Amino acid sequence: MRLGIDFGTTRAVVASADRGNYPVVTFETDGGQGCEWFPSLVAVRGDEVRSGHAAEAVLGDPEWQPLRSLKRLLGASGPRDRALGLPVSDLATRYLHGLRAALLESSNLGAAPGEPLEVAISIPANAPANQRLLTADAFARAGFLVRRILDEPSAAGLEYAWRRPSDAQVKKRHVAVYDLGGGTFDASVIAMSDALHEVLTTDGVGRLGGDDFDEALLALACSAAGREQPEAGPERQRMLELCRQEKERITASTRRLAPDLFTDGGGPRIAIEAYEAALRPLIDRSLAALDAALARVAERAGREVERHTVVYQVGGASQLPAVGRALRERFGRRVWRSPYPHASVAIGLAIAAEEERSPRIAGSLTRHFGVWRERDAGHGAVFDPIFEKDQALPSPGAAASLTRVRRYRAHHNVGHFRYVECSRLLAGAPAGDVTPWGEVRSPLVAALADRPLDEVAVERLSSEGDVVEECYRVDANGVIEVEIRNLTAGYARTFSPSPAPQR
């Protein structure tokens, strides 16, 4: 069975592929009701881990430690990081294992016993390499067969083309996907034709979405009630969950919000105008990122192309009336809203899972990647941008990868490489959303080839050393691999987005 799974910050949404139809899967809750999502929530008590609706049921129970927004945590974590006493990668795997069990045991999916679940999954367009690697690995460890990995706006673009097939018949339609989810904002401009979706550029904000809207409502409510906000912990998690529920009840006719946050009563009433005023700076950040992406399209393809680019509104948090109004104020009739904003990515992924029905997606790098290098004999540093944003990625299944090579004579006994990813460059240096990719230590002299390097000091050689080659490769999913070779002595070490060598 083929599925598209949108592992979101607030909830996971699943759509199945059924011969050109892509229904959203409904889960049964403990109360016997159905809902089209599985909460992105885990709760831990000792060695016991609950996920989704089971974790939601123990919110507020002091015996359980809850964790909302697991996806956000993945975006800021490496393979060695921990949360709630467990490795983040293990928490993600346990959560996805719970999702798989719910799909098989308490949903309307109708999978046959033992039938493999083949999935297309998505990653935020501006996700760092760590998040891409950890997410794909967690799905595989949870028992899913991962067939495709797409950026979320690319998946939403497939849903757009499926709903508006006549647009694929024009010579080329340009669509700017505005994807405001629970924890991230992505904007991608896609040139679409019948057989090819080409991602021209991306932009976004790594930490912006419905979670921040919940935080804003909590701050307003506590201020209106004259109370201090609770510190991080179960009580704050409980109150944020209630804020989310109140936020999701907002409609165009809502005038006041009354989140029932306090167990001793006295819940405040908040005018919708006050809440929307608190949200406006957050919404403006998303509009600025979308404007930046469209400006690059205007520069490369012409202002006329940019003027006729459709803005496609998707993502659970984009359903707030304040977001829709802001988009229409800025772009007018160019804004087209998905009929199912919360499920657009999942439906697009289900389309991608049926590869024979899906157009080819030509992806591109969504972030700059590079390394800091020494200059002036160690008295300064310069940034070497190895891969630049918007470079085309290889097609899925292609034998070749996107490759860059640096070759030189060693000047130190140990290479200490500090790699970063970033959303933009300013005067040649990382700027915007900057994420460490990892610190790599690799032996540059043969005498250290088989030794642990943790206790070896970096020392400058008295004369030029062996010939060293750095080889950088990016696969179709945007995952970067680094190989440091000593060509003179004939050995190499390979690294993925982790400080530890992988082989």
Compute the Cα dihedral for 152, 156, 162, 168 and give only its sign: negative
What pLDDT, on the 0 to 100 scale, is given for residue 401?
79
Looking at every residue in the chain, the average pLDDT score rounds to 90
Is the predicted pLDDT of residue 347 greater than 70, yes or no?
yes
Q: Using alpha carbons, select from 215, 208, 196 the residue that is nearest to residue 315.
A: 208
* Whether residue 290 is found in the same domain as residue 183: yes
* Whether residue 490 is found in the same domain as residue 416: yes
What pLDDT, on the 0 to 100 scale, is given for residue 500?
36
C-alpha–C-alpha distance, residues 341 and 338, integer Å:
5
229-268 burial code (b ≥16 CB/10 A, e <16): ebeeebebbbbbbbbbebbbebeeeeeebebebeeeeebb
What CATH code is carried by the domain that includes residue 218? 3.90.640
C-alpha–C-alpha distance, residues 79 and 86, integer Å:
11
- The number of folded domains in the chain is 3
DSSP 188-204: EEEEE-SSEEEEEEEEE
What pLDDT, on the 0 to 100 scale, is given for residue 265?
72
Asked whether 422 and 368 are in contact (CB, 8 A), the reply is yes
Show the domain range for 425.
Answer: 368-495
Confidence of residue 158 (pLDDT cuts 50, 70, 90): very high
* Whether residue 460 is found in the same domain as residue 486: yes
Is the predicted pLDDT of residue 502 greater than 50, yes or no?
no
Is the predicted pLDDT of residue 6 greater than 80, yes or no?
yes
Is the predicted pLDDT of residue 165 greater than 80, yes or no?
no
* Whether residue 55 is found in the same domain as residue 125: yes
Is the predicted pLDDT of residue 215 greater than 70, yes or no?
yes
What CATH code is carried by the domain that includes residue 134? 3.30.420.40
* Whether residue 314 is found in the same domain as residue 258: no
* Whether residue 159 is found in the same domain as residue 297: yes
What pLDDT, on the 0 to 100 scale, is given for residue 415?
94
Query: What's the average model confidence in pLDDT over 166-176?
Result: 71
* Whether residue 396 is found in the same domain as residue 339: no
What pLDDT, on the 0 to 100 scale, is given for residue 14?
98
293-309 burial code (b ≥16 CB/10 A, e <16): bbebbeeebeeebbeeb
Asked whether 229 and 213 are in contact (CB, 8 A), the reply is no
Answer with the one of 279, 308, 324 that is the final residue of a domain.
279
Q: Using alpha carbons, select from 247, 273, 364 the residue that is nearest to residue 325.
A: 273
Question: What tokens does 127 get?
Answer: 């996700």
What pLDDT, on the 0 to 100 scale, is given for residue 503?
33
* Whether residue 46 is found in the same domain as residue 136: yes
Total-model pTM? 0.84
pLDDT tens by residue, 259-288: 989 877 767 899 999 999 999 999 999 999
Answer with the one of 279, 306, 337 that is the final residue of a domain.
279
Confidence of residue 62 (pLDDT cuts 50, 70, 90): confident
Share of the chain above pLDDT 90, in %: 63
C-alpha–C-alpha distance, residues 27 and 14, integer Å:
10
Q: Is residue 238 part of a domain?
A: yes
* Whether residue 349 is found in the same domain as residue 254: no
> Which residues are paired to 42 by β-bridges?
51, 67
DSSP 3-20: EEEEE-SSEEEEEE-BTT
237 compared with 323, residue with greater pLDDT: 323
Q: Is residue 502 part of a domain?
A: no
Q: Is residue 501 part of a domain?
A: no
Share of the chain above pLDDT 70, in %: 96
* Whether residue 254 is found in the same domain as residue 218: yes
What CATH code is carried by the domain that includes residue 463? 2.60.34.10
pLDDT tens by residue, 183-212: 999 999 999 887 888 899 999 998 899 999
* Whether residue 425 is found in the same domain as residue 490: yes
Asked whether 92 and 77 are in contact (CB, 8 A), the reply is no
* Whether residue 13 is found in the same domain as residue 93: yes
pLDDT tens by residue, 315-344: 999 999 999 999 999 999 999 999 999 999
What pLDDT, on the 0 to 100 scale, is given for residue 75?
77
What pLDDT, on the 0 to 100 scale, is given for residue 499?
37
pLDDT tens by residue, 71-88: 888 877 766 788 888 989
Is the predicted pLDDT of residue 498 greater than 60, yes or no?
no
Is the predicted pLDDT of residue 304 greater than 70, yes or no?
yes
Query: What's the average model confidence in pLDDT over 89-94?
Result: 94
What pLDDT, on the 0 to 100 scale, is given for residue 387?
96
* Least confident window among 223-232, 272-281, 343-352, 396-405: 396-405
Is the predicted pLDDT of residue 58 greater than 60, yes or no?
yes
Answer with the one of 309, 335, 362 that is the final residue of a domain.
362
pLDDT tens by residue, 364-378: 899 999 999 988 766
